[in-house]
Structure 1
Amino acid sequence: MQQQHYCVKAEEQVPCFFIFGDSLADSGNNNRLATLAKVNYSPYGIDMPSGPTGRFTNGRTTVDILGELLGFTHFIQPFATADGTNNILDGVNYASGSAGILEETGRHLGENVYFFRQLQNHRIVMSQMGEILGNKELRRRHLNKCLYWVGLGSNDYINNYYSPQFYNSSKIYTPEQFASLLIEQYRRRILKLYKYGARKVALAGIGRIGCTPNSLSLHNTNGSACVDHMNNAVEFFNVKLLTLVDQLNTNLTDAKFIYINSYGMGGGDPTAVGFKYWKVGCCAVNKVGQCVPSEKPCENRREYVFWDSFHPTEALNKITASRIYSAFDLSDSYPMDVNQLIQMPSDFSPL
């Protein structure tokens, strides 16, 4: 059994943490949806005290661990089970497996909560918070101090652009045109989040989707370590997202946005940090790249980069979360890391 929690007692460094994302951050929002993209069964959660939760890994996700580094002693609750009590003041996780920036993304797998609907769910929570706190001004002050995490876009490539049997986007757009389409939609959603009171926002870039076991099994690498054309495509998105961060920081001077370089953090030599296996996942997978139900996974989970065909193990999530919170390399985040972001003053002027 792997270690479950950090042995440190930390005071919460932000009063609340809101999470928007996909399966890399989903903590159970898809459990009740009619979709193939749900994992509330073993061996998922094998290293969680309570077993399967709907997280797409063996233990904690990156945002779970980031929450611990921020000082939270409990996981941020998923929207699906949030009850509108005082607990929502700590934040809510809206992430949904297979969800993307575009509404149609991932729909061949079934239902998901795409970015716009996640924002709609946030509006519901905001309304409940207004009732708890008593008035809109107290709610605004509270929301201004929160950390907001947004990590979307991977599925718009994996479960849209690079799934031509279900979607025609790759026939209509070049990779750069598709990235522009995504960023324009993304920009509008982020401005809506700002309108809702977000002032400290971490925007995660897309990782090296061409290096996942699924991509390596489906595509010819032509002698390369990864499927380069897929990685090159998401780099268009990442460059545009970096530009968007600059534009947001220039135009919205009472807020701060940072870019998380997921792509850069996914480079380097895995063996340098103790991993032995990175081309295959720890569990046997089904036709959609998720673990076969109840089948025994590998024993040495700390030595695997990937848990299934898409999602990292808790071992990798620990490293990633640590670098997000406090940059290991200057390129990990821009223009600052999460630790610096949350220390920014929150006494912004009213909307």
Structure 2
Amino acid sequence: MERVSCVPLLRRLLLLAAAGLAGAEPQVPCYFVFGDSLVDNGNNNNIASMARANYPPYGVDFPGGATGRFSNGLTTADAISRLLGFDDYIPPYAGATSEQLLTGVNFASAAAGIRDETGQQLGERISFSAQLQNYQAAVRQLVSILGGEDAAANRLSQCIFTVGMGSNDYLNNYFMPAFYPTSRQYTPEQYADVLINQYAQQLRTLYNYGARKVAVLGVGQVGCSPNELAQNSRNGVTCIERINSAVRMFNRRVVGLVNQFNRLLPGALFTYINCYGIFESIMRTPVEHGLAVTNRGCCGVGRNNGQVTCLPYQTPCANRDEYLFWDAFHPTEAANIFVGRRAYSAALRSDVYPVDLSTLAQL
């Protein structure tokens, strides 16, 4: 009997839900996105970087084609924006209009990290610190548009902010000893401490500039990415535990940071999205999620080649809804929709801490 993937159905349901909300007010007045290539939707298109995705086959399933999204279609942020009731996808900060600032923009940049040097071997990128500088400039514009700091603060306090940083601080820093000294300077525990200390300062800056409803996305199972499997796995299937172990150390500290902020910062409503656990559960039961391939990218990454992104105009696999990964690092639209839905409405108690995005929007 032929197995039917549930992913096209999920996508249709997501789009139908959005269509049903068309004309209605979104659940929050604005949504701001910070992160790396997992949610970059075009901010890297016009900078001198090798971390760009503004060419086919990227965007093969996206209505606007190759926009700069590192996916065949939707990113997790796109899925979340639809679930929050926005008619349009949140635009990239690069080139955003003043009017678009009112409903939120995306500051994410491929190869970006918590540490400023992270990803530098790939060329220019907008680090998290630089994304925050762009956000501060946007807040100043909002103050001008809305007629004062109080009005801007009131609006921003109702908005959703998602922040997903840290993946590159491991893949394009700590576990790249040929380019970076950090693995010789710090043990994994020490590095997690160094990262979280800087992350805490950065997230506090976000809070100081009006953010109150903040969802911090944990780092996923980067030791299970096709690139790491191709290079370091003995059988091409078994995940790289030394990488995943280091990531878990960082994620535990992020949960502690969320607790600390909620306890100490007046009005703070921080929550943690357990991307690591969500991916783990998907990989544990891929067939139940309509997925047939979890260890290779749809663009095809072999054990003996160094390809990490889709080559321009490369023909991708036809059954991409059955793939967990689109290229060597980035999930398919199918996987992004799964993660977005579980971030918005937790399927397991472990998916979020303390609340999911649908609850955060109502607080």
**Do Structure 1 and Structure 2 share a fold, with TM-score over 0.5?**
yes
Question: How has the CA–CA distance of structure 1 residues 163 and 72 changed in structure 2, closer, same or farther, with 3 Å as cutoff?
Answer: same
Check the 8 A contact 1:284/1:292 in 2, yes or no: no
Contact 1:221/1:227 (<8 A) preserved:
no
1:160-309, aligned counterparts within 5 Å? 160-221=173-234, 225-267=238-280, 268-284=284-300, 287=306, 289-309=308-328
Alignment of 1:18-29 (within 5 A): 18-29=32-43
Shift of 1:253: 3.6
* TM-score computed with the length of structure 1 as normaliser: 0.95
Query: 2-side partners of 1:145 and 1:287: how far apart?
Result: 44
Residues 222, 173 of structure 1: alpha-carbon distance in 2 compared, 3 angstrom cutoff = farther
Q: Which residue of 1 aligns with 2:5?
A: none
Match of 2:51 in 1: 37
- CA deviation after TM superposition for structure 1 residue 225, in Å: 2.2
Q: Which amino acid in the other structure matches residue 102 of structure 1? A: R
Distance in 2 separating the partners of 1:31 and 1:332: 32
TM-score (norm 2): 0.92
Which has the higher mean CA deviation after the structures are superposed, 269-278 or 328-337?
Answer: 269-278
Corresponding residue of 1:157? 170
Q: Displacement, 1:221?
A: 4.7
Structure-2 residue corresponding to 1:347: none
Is the contact between residue 29 and residue 78 of structure 1 (CA under 8 Å) also seen in structure 2? yes
Instruction: Give the Cα–Cα distance (whole angstroms) in 2 for the partners of residues 224 and 278 of structure 1.
Output: 9
Deviation at 1:188, TM superposition (A): 0.2
Aligned length: 342
Question: How far apart, in 2, do the equivalents of 1:221 and 1:210 lie?
Answer: 13
Question: Which of 14, 29, 37 in structure 2 is aligned with 1:15?
Answer: 29
Judged with a 3 Å threshold, the aligned counterparts in structure 2 of structure 1 residues 204 and 297 are, in CA distance, closer, same or farther, namely: same
One-letter amino acid matched to 2:352? S
Question: Which residue number corresponds to residue 356 of structure 2?
Answer: 337
Q: Deviations over 1:145-199 (max 9, x none)?
A: 1101000000000000011111010011101100100000000001111100111
Aligned equivalents of 2:288 and 2:233: distance in 1? 26
SS in 2 for 1:257: strand
Does structure 2 retain, via aligned residues, the 8 Å contact 1:284–1:295? no
Quote how far apart the aligned CAs of 1:132 are. Answer: 1.1
Q: Tell me by how many angstroms 1:104 deviates.
A: 0.2
Question: Are 2:321 and 1:312 equivalent residues in the alignment?
Answer: no
> What amino acid sits opposite 1:317 in the alignment?
N
Equivalent-residue separation in structure 2 for 1:105 and 1:50 (angstroms): 30
Distance 2:285 2:137 in 1: 44
User: Structure 1, unaligned stretches of length 5 or more?
Assistant: 345-351
Q: Would the aligned equivalents of 2:237 and 2:295 in 1 still touch at CA under 8 Å?
A: no
Matches of 1:148 and 1:221, distance apart in 2: 40
In the alignment, residue 242 of structure 1 is paired with which amino acid?
V
1:270 positional shift: 1.4
Work out the CA distance in 2 between the residues paired with 1:233 and 1:52. 33
Show CA shifts across 1:209-233 (max 9, x none): 1100001011135897211110001
Q: Does the C-alpha gap of structure 1 residues 101 and 288 become closer, same or farther in structure 2, counting only changes over 3 Å?
A: farther
Q: Is the 8 A contact 1:45 1:51 kept in 2?
A: yes
Measured after TM superposition, the shift of residue 255 of structure 1 is: 1.3
Q: Which residue of 1 aligns with 2:129?
A: 116
Instruction: Provide structure 2 residue ranges, at least 5 long, that are not aligned to the other structure.
Output: 1-7
For residue 6 of structure 1, the aligned residue among 15, 25, 31 is 15
Distance 1:31 1:288 in 2: 20
CA distance in 2, matches of 1:175, 1:222: 25
